[in-house]
Structure 1
């Protein structure tokens, strides 16, 4: 929530092309992807940020503050303050809100994030790590010989890809929510198809040309599928519930593991005019929420944050001219909309206003994560840059709402106006 009432502005940044894991960017690590974005953003604007707030979701032993490492390896001045943040898929939306809370009127920063799913690191179990670290302290041949017995308990740690508390993946949780809210398969496939179709409509108009730069010999996004169809999507088998006969989430209506990085500019009122890009918008307000995972669904926090944000700003759903809801899964988007239109749910949220029917025709007009891809730490910045440019094209006085859900029953939403 923007308690400070400071005048904070956003400007579209840049991103690498997004590609499927273990493909064209498999040899490029998260730091190098981040450096590429920072360099391109500084070169394009000829402006050095006072701050870099950057994030990644999957940890790596090669760095702890990836933001600072990226700054030191980039063309950004070493004097730039850089810090790392994370909140699962909301990471680079969170980094934007953190800068918005920190910046003075005379300061400017870059928020963003990265994910290199091709380079998810395997490690040693804690017991194996402790066993190895004991060796240098051992004295005497027999103690070292005894130590070797631990070799039979040697164990790797492989990131399980599930929520630590529930033991379920995001897909499994999304499947549970979809079945509880009766989100059917056809509706999910239609939304997924729409994401690809909208992406290519935007691409043909040149929408992404000044938002995406060629990087590491990759010229463009490689995940969108121009030849997909409802019939092709309908042939895919459920991934997260294969046994009950009720599974609806497939590889076609879910996001893919993705490599990529993205950044967005955040500026105080006295610095925004220094940015040359014409794509600028004011960050009006924001809201975050946390929910009970088992009761509400692990990705359903935006259905709590959105009504609170709109009521505080005296807005209905239709008053918002552009909706950008991150597509982790088509079912998650449709589940969110289902909750937003449910009066019982809104009563639980604590809002009293009549919000109306959700205007789905205003949703993700240039495609979203199902089509483009979802590098966890980069998605928020990617969505913000697209939103700001689309608002610019729509004309003055238009409002947009950006929503990104996150693992752990968390999420963040932002209200933007040009």
Structure 2
């Protein structure tokens, strides 16, 4: 690594984030991705010939498009010389993409790169059972028409029943929401606290939409120019009417205090500091450092930020109090609450202190804005960098949990 190559966050753009099955239900991952990249190119008047690298991510895979990043290059008729590849690691996917681009820049292998991700929950693959899949495969590879027909005659009505895509953890058999319920009980996080976090998220996102801070990051698609999930008129009374989803008898997580299934894409533009200034771009912020962490799901599927953030602060010599803005991804209001509590009390790592609620997610976060899995990290990076520039903040912290009991923490800085 070359410490002289500081990695500048020049900016980012994204599509609106919309509830799955609505406005973008007929748009593919590829087309959503291309819209986010097109937004960056137009917003920053970037000549595509200057791009060295594109690292893109998704969580729900399309078997017909193995390297989505490369197909974006062709879909937008970008220079074929752009190196482009795909990454995937659940909700921290686009942070992985950004770290990869940053590593290329620090090593001197690239000067300008884009990172980001997409999720189309409206276009999840339709799966068939293993027995049906074997029959279809045998029919597809049959040497003669007769062999193909005989193979297909083995199909029965049961074979045509789709297998629903499961969001359960393969290692535990529980969904993320079920894990969050268990951890909320363990850390004694009540529903009132979760609803307060969700309410604040919606109200702040609504305010940031109305004053243009969030919409400035959005590239309109199909006439939609804002996030459609934000509910600025919601109240605690309205939230209290909803029933728990994952534990109907004793649960605290509802549709109101959990992030919704979302369609959207987000991209962030990164450059070496030298190249950014040479091209006339004023960096919004710089990537100071990033830290990934992984724990066992039995310790709390969404608890890895309680390890990643303290380690990152220790390695950089900074403190939680040094952070002017703290962006914590809101998979669930409960997850935000028990990670904040773990930072305050210490858990697997030493305590690092409390977060002032005024510093926490000042423009709202995933409960209100939405959570297209692989796009969330790039969305948070863009929002944080813009807000740091507006407020002339020195340090900003990102904390994102992920399925598989993993997390990523990142510090942006201005100087």
Q: Is this a same-fold pair by TM over 0.5? A: yes
Matched with 2:89 is 87
Count of aligned pairs between the two proteins: 407
Q: Does 1:161 align with 2:174?
A: no
Report what 2:318 is aligned to.
315
Partner Cα separation in structure 2 for residue 334 and residue 274 of structure 1: 43
Q: Deviations over 1:237-293 (max 9, x none)?
A: 1001013xx200000000000011100011112222256665521101110000010
Whether 1:171 aligns to 2:170 is no
Contact 1:300 1:336 in 2 (8 A): yes
1:56 to 58, 67, 72: 58
Which deviates more, 51-60 or 357-366? 357-366
Is the contact made by 1:38 and 1:76 (CA closer than 8 Å) also made in structure 2? no
User: Would you say the 8 A contact 2:340–2:354 is kept in 1?
Assistant: no
Structure 2 CA distance for aligned equivalents of residues 258 and 123 of structure 1:
20
Q: State the Cα distance separating 1:11 from its structure 2 match.
A: 2.1
Aligned-CA RMSD value: 2.1
From the superposition, tell whether residues 275 and 206 of structure 1 become closer, same or farther in structure 2 (CA, over 3 Å): farther
Please state how far the C-alpha of 1:179 moved relative to its aligned partner.
0.6
How much has 1:126 moved relative to structure 2? 3.3
- Superposed CA deviations along residues 288-337 of structure 1, whole A, max 9, x for unmatched, are 00001012x11111110100111122222111111001000000000101
What's the secondary structure of 1:299's corresponding residue? Answer: coil
More off after superposition, 99-108 vs 143-152: 143-152
Q: Secondary structure at the match of 2:96?
A: helix
- The answer on 1:124 being equivalent to 2:128 is yes
The unaligned stretches of length 5 or more in structure 2 are none
Within a 5 Å distance, the mapping from 1:390-405 to structure 2 comes to: 390-395=387-392, 398-405=394-401
Counterpart position of 2:362: 365
Q: How does 1:205-216 map to 2 (within 5 A)?
A: 205-216=211-222
User: What is the CA–CA distance in structure 2 between the aligned matches of 1:76 and 1:145, rounded to whole Å?
Assistant: 47
Q: Kindly state the Cα deviation for residue 387 of structure 1 after the two structures are TM-superposed.
A: 0.2
**Aligned residue runs from structure 1 range 4-15, under 5 A:** 6-15=5-14
CA contact (8 A) 2:135 2:151 kept: no
Partner of 2:269: 265
Of 204, 208, 213, 1:202 maps to: 208
Compute the displacement of 1:138 (Å).
5.7
Question: Contact between 2:132 and 2:159, CA under 8 Å: does it hold in 1?
Answer: yes
Take 1:39 and 1:139, find their aligned partners in 2: how far apart are those partners?
Answer: 47
Deviation at 1:4, TM superposition (A): 6.0
Residues 139/168 of structure 1: CA separation in 2 closer, same or farther (3 Å cut):
same
Whole-angstrom CA distance in 2 between matches of 1:5 and 1:324: 27
Structure 2 residue 332 is matched with structure 1 residue 326: no
Q: Could you tell me how far apart the structure 1 residues matched to 2:24 and 2:145 are?
A: 48
Distance in 2, matches of 1:194 and 1:85, equals 32
Change (3 A) 1:72 1:167: same
The match for 2:188 is 182
- Tell me, yes or no, if the aligned pair for 2:326 and 2:396 is still in contact at 8 Å: yes
On the 8 A contact 2:136/2:152 being kept in 1, the answer is no
Q: Shift of the alpha carbon at 1:165?
A: 1.6
Asked if 1:221 is matched to 2:227, the reply is yes
The residue number in structure 2 matching 1:382 is 379
